[in-house]
Structure 1
Amino acid sequence: MTDSPHVDTDDRGCLVMVLAVPVVLLTLVAGYFCWTALTIRPSGAWDDDACAGIVLSCVMTIGAAVTAGAVWVLPPVRRVMGWWWVLPALLLGAVAAVRWATGG
């Protein structure tokens, strides 16, 4: 019984670009919502709308970061893309978690 030869193609560069699209888009979404969470300033303790906006922005940032991490954890994606592809999204998620924990 003979083994079939392993064919190594040069499509890895294209595959990285295709797999990077959702990770990059989710990182951009996380970046936008993290920016809004950091720039919203309540006018006072009574400003419930601003506090709700901060919480919503933090939740959206963390959601996008977790989704980017979930995409990266998939074995085909992880084999092709390094950990640094998902690191910015995870850092943005951590910043949003700190912002949420410290309150508005």
Structure 2
Amino acid sequence: MTRDAAPATRHPSTTEDLGCLRWVLAVPLVLLHLIAAGCCSMALAIRPSGTWDDDARAGIVLACALTLATSALALLITVAPSVRRAMGPWWLAPPLILGVVAAVRWALVD
């Protein structure tokens, strides 16, 4: 009796693995981007009534700080080499843009 060559083992395709990994990584990144965008829009929408309105300034600073924190977390997740390979470099844009907008708004608080 002759022995047949071992059948080739099937490996899951790389595209299927990347598709699943993209979904697993995209969900928290999108949630972080939405939180950062909401905080950033709040920081841009709040307007102090006058020079005496310290509460509005505190709200702007808080919204900017929350935007920077969530953007930094999203950026840290995205910068990991395995995430960049799976997701692509364009995922770096939203946290960078939102972070810059929040930093400029914080610097220009009236």
Structure 1-normalised TM-score? 0.88
Measure how far apart 1:76 and its partner are: 1.8
Contact 1:23–1:86, Cα closer than 8 Å, also in 2: no
* Residue ranges of structure 2 left out of the alignment (5+ in a row): 1-8
Among 71, 77, 83, the alignment partner of 1:71 is 77
State the aligned residue count: 99
Question: Aligned partners of 2:88, 2:51: CA distance in 1, in Å?
Answer: 44
Displacement of 1:75: 2.2
Pairing 1:92–2:98 present: yes
Report whether the alignment pairs 1:56 with 2:62. Answer: yes
Deviation (angstroms), 1:74? 1.7
Shift of 1:89: 2.0
Matches of 1:30 and 1:84 in 2, distance apart?
Answer: 17
Measured after TM superposition, the shift of residue 84 of structure 1 is 0.9
Identity of aligned residues (%): 57
RMSD: 1.5
Give 3-state SS (helix, strand or coil) of 1:29's partner.
Answer: helix
Deviation at 1:11, TM superposition (A): 1.6
TM-score normalized by the length of structure 2? 0.84
Q: Which runs of 5+ in 1 are unaligned?
A: none
Whether the aligned pair in 2 keeps the contact of 1:29 and 1:61 (CA below 8 Å) is yes
Q: Name the CA distance, whole Å, in 2 between partners of 1:42 and 1:33.
A: 17
Whose radius of gyration is greater, 1 or 2?
2
Report 1:1-104 matches (<5 A). 7=11, 8-9=13-14, 10-104=16-110
